[in-house]
A and B are shown apart, each in its own frame.
Chain A
Amino acid sequence: MSQAFRVDGGLLDRNRPLGFRFNGKRLRGYSGDTLASALLANGVRLVGRSFKYHRPRGIFSAGPEEPNALVTVGRGAEAEPNTSATVTELFDGLEARSQNHRGPLGFDLMAVNDLIAPFLGPGFYYKTFMWPRAAWERVYEPLIRRAAGLGALSGQADPGLYDKGYRHCDVLVIGAGPAGLAAALAAGQAGASVILADEDFRPGGRLLAQRQEIDGQAGAGWAQAAWDELSGFDNVRLMLRTTVFGVYDHGICGALERTAPGSGRDKPRQILWRLYARRTVLCAGATERPLVFPGNDRPGVMLAGAVQAYASRWAVAAGRRVAVLANHDDATGLAEDLRSQGMEVARVIAAHAGQGIRATHGRKSLRAITQHDGRRIDCDCLAVSGGWSPNLQLTCHHDGRPQWREELQAFVPGPNLPPGMSVAGAANGSFGLKDCLAQGHAAGRAAAEAAGFKPTTATHAAPNSHDVPSPIWAAEPADGRAFVDLQNDVTAKDITLAHREGFSAIEHLKRYTTLGMATDQGKTSNLLGLALLSQLTGRTIPETGTTRARPPYTPVSIGAFAGRERGRGFQPTRLTPAHDWAAQRGASFVESGLWLRARWFPLPGESGWRDSVDREVRQTRSAVGICDVSTLGKIDIRGRDATEFVNFVYCNGFAKLPVGKVRYGLMLREDGLAMDDGTCARLAENHYVMTTTTANAVAVFRHLEFVRQCLKPHWDVHLVPETDGWAQFAVAGPRARDLIARLVDAPFDMSNDAFPFMACAEVTIGGSHARLFRISFSGELAYEIAVPARFGNSLAEILMEAGQDLGVVPYGIEALDVMRLEKGHPSGNELNGQTGAAQLGMASMASLKKDYVGRGRLGVSHVDGARDVRLVGVRPVNLRDPLFSGAHILAPGAKSSLENDQGWMSSVCFSPHLGHHVGLAFVRDGTDRLGERLRAVDLVRGTDIDIELVSAQFFDPEGVRLRV
Chain B
Amino acid sequence: MLIPHPTLGPRDAEEFIYMGDARLLERPDGEAEGANAAFADYLYLRDNPAGRHRELWYHQDGDQSWLVVTRDTRTHEIVEVVLAREVALTAGAPA
* A714 adjacent to chain B (CB < 8 Å): yes
CB contact under 8 A between A857 and B43, given known A702-B58, A711-B27: yes
Separation of A632 and B40 alpha carbons in the complex (Å):
32
* B69 adjacent to chain A (CB < 8 Å): no
Is B1 within 8 A of A709, CB to CB?
no
* B31 adjacent to chain A (CB < 8 Å): yes
Q: Which residue of A lies closest to B84 (CB)?
A: A710
Separation of A249 and B10 alpha carbons in the complex (Å):
13
* A595 adjacent to chain B (CB < 8 Å): no
Is B76 within 8 A of A710, CB to CB?
no
Q: Which residue of B lies closest to A416 (CB)?
A: B75
Q: Which residue of A lies closest to B30 (CB)?
A: A855
Interface 1/0 per residue, B55-88 and A, CB below 8 Å:
0101010001110000000011110000111111
CB < 8 Å neighbour of B65 from A251, A701, A709: A709
- Number of B residues with CB within 8 Å of any CB on chain A: 39
CB < 8 Å neighbour of B2 from A250, A714, A850: A250
CB < 8 Å neighbour of A851 from B29, B66, B88: B29
Is B42 within 8 A of A856, CB to CB?
yes
Within 8 A of B (CB), among A212-260: 248-252
Separation of A250 and B84 alpha carbons in the complex (Å):
23
CB contact under 8 A between A709 and B84, given known A702-B17, A855-B31, A856-B36: yes
Q: What are the residues of chain B within 8 A of A274 when measuring CB–CB?
A: 12
Separation of A276 and B17 alpha carbons in the complex (Å):
21
Separation of A698 and B31 alpha carbons in the complex (Å):
29
CB < 8 Å neighbour of A670 from B39, B56, B85, B87: B39
CB contact under 8 A between A670 and B42, given known A709-B84, A711-B27, A851-B30: yes
Query: Interface extent on A, as a size class?
Result: 20 to 34
Is A250 within 8 A of B93, CB to CB?
no
Is A856 within 8 A of B93, CB to CB?
no
Q: What are the residues of chain B within 8 A of A850 when measuring CB–CB?
A: 31
Is A419 within 8 A of B27, CB to CB?
no
CB < 8 Å neighbour of B88 from A398, A698, A711, A856: A711
Q: What are the residues of chain A within 8 A of B86 when measuring CB–CB?
A: 713
* B95 adjacent to chain A (CB < 8 Å): yes
* A757 adjacent to chain B (CB < 8 Å): no
Q: What are the residues of chain A within 8 A of B24 when measuring CB–CB?
A: 710
- How distant is B92 from chain A, measured CB to nearest CB, in Å? 9
* A565 adjacent to chain B (CB < 8 Å): no
Q: What are the residues of chain B within 8 A of A711 when measuring CB–CB?
A: 25, 27, 88, 93
Q: Which residue of A lies closest to B56 (CB)?
A: A710
Q: What are the residues of chain B within 8 A of A709 when measuring CB–CB?
A: 65-66, 83-85, 88
Is B66 within 8 A of A856, CB to CB?
no
Separation of A419 and B60 alpha carbons in the complex (Å):
28
- How distant is A907 from chain B, measured CB to nearest CB, in Å? 29
Is A851 within 8 A of B2, CB to CB?
no
* B89 adjacent to chain A (CB < 8 Å): yes
Separation of A671 and B28 alpha carbons in the complex (Å):
13
Interface 1/0 per residue, A684-716 and B, CB below 8 Å:
000000000000001001100110011111100
* A852 adjacent to chain B (CB < 8 Å): yes
Is B84 within 8 A of A249, CB to CB?
no
Separation of A701 and B31 alpha carbons in the complex (Å):
25
Q: Which residue of B lies closest to A398 (CB)?
A: B75
Separation of A925 and B73 alpha carbons in the complex (Å):
46
- How distant is A246 from chain B, measured CB to nearest CB, in Å? 13
Separation of A710 and B64 alpha carbons in the complex (Å):
12
Q: What are the residues of chain A within 8 A of B78 when measuring CB–CB?
A: 250
Is B38 within 8 A of A856, CB to CB?
yes
Is B36 within 8 A of A713, CB to CB?
no
Separation of A274 and B54 alpha carbons in the complex (Å):
27
Is A671 within 8 A of B43, CB to CB?
yes
Is A706 within 8 A of B1, CB to CB?
no
* A860 adjacent to chain B (CB < 8 Å): yes
Separation of A274 and B13 alpha carbons in the complex (Å):
13
Separation of A701 and B59 alpha carbons in the complex (Å):
12
Within 8 A of B (CB), among A851-889: 851-852, 854-857, 860
Is A252 within 8 A of B84, CB to CB?
no
Separation of A249 and B75 alpha carbons in the complex (Å):
8
Q: Name which of A250, A251, A854 has the most chain B CB atoms within 10 A of its CB.
A: A250
Separation of A411 and B75 alpha carbons in the complex (Å):
23
Is B35 within 8 A of A252, CB to CB?
no
CB < 8 Å neighbour of B85 from A698, A701, A713: A713
Q: What are the residues of chain A within 8 A of B30 when measuring CB–CB?
A: 851-852, 854-856
Q: What are the residues of chain A within 8 A of B43 when measuring CB–CB?
A: 670-671, 857
Q: What are the residues of chain B within 8 A of A854 when measuring CB–CB?
A: 30
Supplied contacts A276-B2, A856-B35, A860-B36, 14 more A-B pairs, CB within 8 Å: A252-B2, A671-B39, A706-B19, A709-B66, A709-B83, A711-B25, A711-B27, A713-B85, A713-B86, A714-B89, A855-B31, A856-B39, A857-B36, A857-B39
Top-6 shortest CB links A-B: A855-B30, A856-B39, A851-B30, A250-B2, A249-B1, A713-B88
A-B contact pairs, 5 of them (CB 8 A): A250-B10, A709-B65, A712-B93, A713-B86, A855-B30
